[in-house]
Amino acid sequence: MNRLLKPTEGPLKSAFISYKWYALLLCCLVLLISLSWSRLISPSVRSAESDIPLRIQTPFDSQMSEPLKPSVYMSMFPDASTVPAAPANDPISTTATATATSAPVASEAVQQQQPQHIPVLNYHSITIDPGNRAVITPAKFEEQMLYLSKNGYHTLTLQQFIDYMDGTTTSLPKKPVLLTFDDGYADNYEHALPLLKQLNFHATLFVSPGTTEDGYFLNWDQIKEMHEAGWDIQPHGMTHPHLPKLSAKSQAFEISEAKRQIDEQLKINTTVFCYPFGEKNETTLKLLQEHGFRYAFTIDQGLASRDQNRLLLKRLFVNGEESIEPWIARLEQGSVKVKS
């Protein structure tokens, strides 16, 4: 009995050795299959996953993002030699609260445990202009707004955004998103104002006061109506210039005069800037701080977060030529990506 139970001798011994070889062979096969899978299959999966953030980070031609009529921004205020005195300085490090339109804060505010990355959508013109990716059709724009509404997104007021970035509040509505519109196209009044009002959405508009008499852009009556409807209005340069190409004196005029006119027209204190064409240099940043600006938006692609320089906040460009799927993919980054 004892011999039969010990497979170390006789026929049982050889059978056991064969069994070991089979087991070894099986292990090798399993290993080979695993390696093949990781080398042949996984790369395609990984590239599909990384495709979205890669596309977000891809720089795009700033000129194409701005469908401004060249005749408008090239001829306005050619002589900026009379620079108004700068208002009292308000360094970026101060904790003064920026003035923005106060609108009802969503009651669904929830406490966030970790700093959030907030999608700041960057729209321009809303009309039909095939081939211009900075322009979105009214139908596509409505499709995107309805997607936000149906999927539980909450559009932030600029004040809510600032309070969160300042750290004066740690609560945000669920699935926050900030809607921004650059340049102040007249079609925003026609296609965005009624729809956003209907959906009870908030939005921020960056305008260049030097364009308000053009007819192609919003006039002051329209801007005031949008402001009264809850839109936050902030400056985008006086004449939508290429700021880095200007002297410090001319840059100061573009920044301060745009602020002065909006503040005067709307009886507010603007403190958030948006760089025309996304262009800025060290002088621009210094001047913004000197003139009381506390935040500024770029066209650098990505989600906005507290760990960014306050004057270099990122946004998500809305490509009007794309279908809604890639737009959703960019947007959804905000609901899953948190600072670790």
Binding residues for Zn ion, rule: CB under 5 A, are 66, 182-183, 276
Based on CB atoms, which residue is closest to Zn ion, 76 or 103?
76
Q: Which token pair is 4?
A: 């039969």
CB of 274 to Zn ion, least distance (A): 7
Nearer to Zn ion, 153 or 181 (CB): 181
Which residue is associated with the tokens 């001319």? 250
Smaller CB separation from Zn ion, 240 or 260? 240
What is the CB-side half-sphere exposure of residue 23 using CA atoms within 13 A? 6
Shortest CB 128 distance to Zn ion, Å: 20
Enter the DSSP assignment of 215. S
Q: Name the nearest CA neighbour of 238 among 267, 268, 201, 212.
A: 212
For Zn ion, the closer of residues 72 and 83 by Cβ is 72
Nearer to Zn ion, 143 or 300 (CB): 300
CB of 51 to Zn ion, least distance (A): 28
Contacts of 30 (CB under 8 A, 6+ apart): none
Q: Give 293-336 as a DSSP string.
A: --EEEEEEES-B-TTS-TTSEEEEE--TTS-HHHHHHHHHHHHH
Largest CA distance in the chain: 111
Quote the CA–CA distance of 154 and 106 in Å, as a whole number: 8
Distance in Å, CB of 32 to Zn ion, minimum:
57
Q: Using CA of residue 235, residue 63, residue 310, residue 283, what is the dihedral sign?
A: negative
The residue whose Cβ lies closest to Zn ion is: 182
- Taking the complex as a whole, how short is the minimal distance between the CB of residue 238 and Zn ion, in angstroms? 12
Q: Which is nearer to Zn ion, 68 or 252 (CB)?
A: 68
For residue 207, give the 3-state DSSP assignment: strand
For Zn ion, give the closer residue by CB, 116 or 239: 239
Q: Give min distance, CB of 184 to Zn ion, in A.
A: 9
CB of 75 to Zn ion, least distance (A): 16
d(CA 136, CA 25): 61
Nearer to Zn ion, 66 or 257 (CB): 66
Q: Residue 191 corresponds to which tokens in the numbers above?
A: 């296609």
Nearer to Zn ion, 163 or 182 (CB): 182
Q: 228-231: long-range contacts (C-beta < 8 A, 24 or more apart)?
A: 229/193, 229/196, 229/197, 230/101, 230/103, 230/157, 230/202, 230/203, 231/101, 231/193, 231/196, 231/202, 231/203, 231/204, 231/205
Shortest Cβ 318–Zn ion spacing (Å): 13
Helix H or strand E segment including 261: helix 248-266
**Residue 172 carries which side chain, given as an amino acid letter?**
L
The least distance separating Zn ion from the CB of residue 242, rounded to whole angstroms, comes to 11
